[in-house]
Every structure is written in C-alpha cells, then in structure tokens.
Amino acid sequence: MNEAKLHDFMGRLVTDMGGAALMANVVIGEELGFYKAMVDGRPVSSEELAEKTGCQPRLVREWLNANAAAGYVELDDGKFRLPEEQAMALAIEDSPVYVAGGASVLSALFLDKDKVVSAMRGNGALAWGEHHPCMFSGTERFFRPGYRAHLVSEWLPSLNGVVEKLESGAKVADVGCGHGASTVIMAQAFPNSRFFGFDYHAPSIETARKRADDGGVSDRVAFEQARAKEFSGSDFDLVCFFDCLHDMGDPVGAARHAYDALKPDGTVLLVEPFAGDRIEDNLNPVGRLFYAASTCICTPNSLSQEVGLGLGAQAGEARLRDVFMQSGFANFRRATETPFNLILEASK
Ligand SMILES: C[S@@+](CC[C@H](N)C(=O)[O-])C[C@H]1O[C@@H](n2cnc3c(N)ncnc32)[C@H](O)[C@@H]1O
C-alpha cells in the first residue's frame, strides 16, 4: 500500500463529504434567503443576517462559518461578506450561472435513496414521478439559467434556418418539457410562433401551464400530458428534446415519432448533457456530476419504461446519432456546445 496515495485519497474524500454536507447548507440558505440578503456584498455579522432574515442567530452563525470554510463567503474583520462572483452563482436568480436553486435536486438524491436501493436490488426501475417533489422544481431551477443564457442567443441560431421560421411563425413541440422552462423562454422570444409542450408527468404539466400564465404567453403555448412516442399534432417545424431523451425508455421510438410529426424540412433540436463517447472522456467533474445523478434519476427512469434502453446521462454524441439514424433521420450534427450541454441537430 502506498501511504501517500492513501493520504491523497482521504483528502479527496473529506473534500467530497464536506461538499455534500455543504450542499445541504446551500439548499437551506437558498430557501431562507441568506445569500440574497447578502447580495449587496457588504459585510454582515451573524446577528445582522439573523435579524434581516428572521432566523435563529446561533444557527445562522454556524451556517456562515460553514460557508466561510468553503470559501462561499469571506471573513472580513469578524463579519462575513458574499463576493460578487459567489453572488452570481448563489444569490442572483437571473444570472446565467445561478446554481443555488438547482441544488435542491441533490436533496432529492438523498430523500429518495431507499427507492434507488430497491431499484438496484430489483429490476432497476424508478419512474420520474416517484421522486420527491423537490426533484421537479430543482430540475427546473437547475436547467433554466442555462436555457435563459444560451437557448435564444446561441442554440437556436446554431440550427439551419430555424430562427427565420420562428420569427415568421413556426409550430414547435417541446417534448419532455417538465415545468416548461424552455417552452416559455422560446414563446417569449418568438411571439409569431406556436408552442406545444408535452410531458408524461401530469403534475409537471400543471406547473408548466402556470408558468405560461405567469410568463404572459399562455395565448401561444399549450401544454398536454403525453408520452414522447404518442404526442398529438403534425407538421411541426421544430421538435425539441431538452435534457430528456436519455431519460426515456425508448428514445428510438420517441425520435421516430418526432420524425413522423415533423414537416419534410423540419428540424429536431436535441439538447443533452455534455459527454464524450467513451467513459475515459467523461472522468472529470462534469462527468462525475452527471453519472452520479444518472445512477439515481435518469437511468432508473429509462428502465421503468418500455424498451428500457438506459442510455444514461453521459450517452455521448455517437450513441445519440445512432438513435436518430435508427429512427430514419438522414442528417445529424453537433450544432454547438457548452461545458454542460451538447446541442445536436437532426433533419430528414
Ligand atoms: C430531466 S427532466 C427535463 C425536463 C425539461 N425538459 C427541462 O429541461 O427542464 C426529464 C423530463 O422527461 C420527462 N419524461 C421522461 N420520460 C418521458 C416519456 N417517455 N415521455 C414524455 N416525457 C418523459 C420527465 O417527466 C421529465 O419531466
């Protein structure tokens, strides 16, 4: 045994355990408005933060100590301040890097641990709707900042001729739309187009309808509960799959249905977690996050459905291309990418 390697590994384990425990504190601080109360960057004492948020001062001090140890807040002459960069990620909901809201997905991983253990011992199935509700709102909050930052300004323009169609008036399906974050963002940007969001999870569809109302776009957005292989409508100019195709049991069937529902010159926009084709390409921080989430969420969801292909959240472009080639599409290409997403385009 190499003692130096053991020390190194123990260091990494302590870092990871601290990270996991800290994430619980991030979720708590987000819910109680601690980061937002510090968004001005001015140093506060624990008593001041407790008073501002109406919380228990001794617990607030411990929370601040934990955040200071992690470098999320800085000690400043006995007080604590939230630096501007940390505020972008932890306090400012409109920022493209706001992650504090999405951290509640991590809560669901622990809350649903027993169900994943049962799935592991059984047939591997755990359906999306079986998760704790914080999974659904956490997913929305995890993905929405990226969609707001990139979807209209980069991802849609990276597709051949799609923005022109959206501007003049297109028919769009958003399949596996969840709470409809992507649907509402597109509808707000393209008032001449009509949008149809589909998801098989009924409570998500109810929330999506509320989001369309709140976003002032319910006149041009309709949400309907439907499985990806069965959604209604035809002659779509654009069919989108945002971070959901790999969750499906039969992605080939879903892509084939998209093929049938598209106009001859229509386009599929497929947004998937960033991944290389080989496991060796994904042994990095992004791959670690997605593989770990995929073990508890995406893969058991796929195994809960017919076919149960189990692509996993790190499927990679080659396997996704294969899905679309099997479904009859003639063209498939990487349109663009971010550190977290592959943006792929398929056409007939
Ligand atoms: C990770 S969430 C992504 C939700 C949304 N697209 C977003 O980006 O916020 C995956 C979604 O796929 C939906 N889903 C999974 N399998 C499905 C299927 N076979 N048909 C329709 N929706 C499905 C789930 O209900 C869930 O809302």
pLDDT tens by residue, 238-281? 999 999 999 999 999 999 999 999 999 999 999 999 999 999 99
Domain 106-347, what fold?
A: Rossmann fold (3.40.50)
Q: What per-residue confidence (pLDDT) applies to 298?
A: 98
CA distance 306 to 294: 18
Quick check: CB of 128 below 6 Å from ligand 1?
Answer: yes
Average pLDDT for the chain: 98
pLDDT digits (tens, 9 = 90+) for 111-153: 999 999 999 999 999 999 999 999 999 999 999 999 999 999 9
Residues near 110 by beta carbon (within 8 Å), at least 6 away in sequence: none
> Ligand 1 in contact with 180 (CB < 6 A)?
no
Pocket test for ligand 1, best of 104, 105, 109, 128 (most atoms within 8 A of CB): 128
197 CB within 6 A, ligand 1:
no
Ligand 1 center–CA 204 separation, angstroms:
9
Tokens of 43: 């140093």
d(CA 181, CA 235) in angstroms, rounded, equals: 23
User: What pLDDT does residue 2 have?
Assistant: 97
Assign 339 a pLDDT band (cuts: 50, 70, 90).
Answer: very high
What pLDDT score does 58 carry? 98
| pTM, two decimal places | 0.97
Q: Give me ligand 1 centre to Cα 268, in Å.
A: 16
Around Cβ 120, how many Cβ atoms within 10 Å?
A: 13
- Could you give the CA distance from residue 293 to residue 281 in angstroms, rounded to a whole number? 17
**In this structure, which residue's CA is closest to atom 9 in ligand 1?**
140
Mean pLDDT, residues 160-185 taken together: 98
User: What gap in Å lies between CA 294 and CA 313, rounded to an integer?
Assistant: 5
Query: How many CB atoms neighbour CB 154 within 10 A?
Result: 14
Handedness of CA 44, 49, 50, 52 (dihedral sign): positive
* CB 327 within 8 Å of CB 252: yes
Q: H/E element holding 239?
A: strand 236-242
Which pLDDT belongs to residue 257? 98
Q: What is the pLDDT of residue 259?
A: 98
pLDDT of residue 89: 98
* pLDDT of amino acid 212: 98
Residue 199, ligand 1, Cβ within 6 A: yes
How would CATH label the architecture of 3-92? Orthogonal Bundle (1.10)
Specify the residue with its C-alpha closest to ligand 1, atom 16. 248
The rounded distance, in Å, linking the Cα atoms of 23 and 177 is 26
Confidence of residue 90 (pLDDT cuts 50, 70, 90): very high
Ligand 1 binding pocket includes 136 (Cβ within 6 Å)? no
Give residue 63's pLDDT band: very low, low, confident or very high (50, 70, 90): very high
C-alpha distances (whole Å) from 248 to each of 99, 121, 135, 208, 333 are 25, 21, 17, 20, 21
> Following DSSP, what letter does each residue of 291-346 receive, concatenated?
HHHHHHTHHHHHHTSSS-----TT--HHHHHHHHHHTT-SEEEEEEE-SSEEEEEE
Query: Average of pLDDT values for 192-205?
Result: 98
For the chain, what are the domain ranges?
A: 3-92, 106-347
The CA distance from 318 to 171, in Å, is 29
Cβ 182 under 6 angstroms from ligand 1? yes
How many angstroms does the Cα of residue 243 sit away from the middle of ligand 1? 7
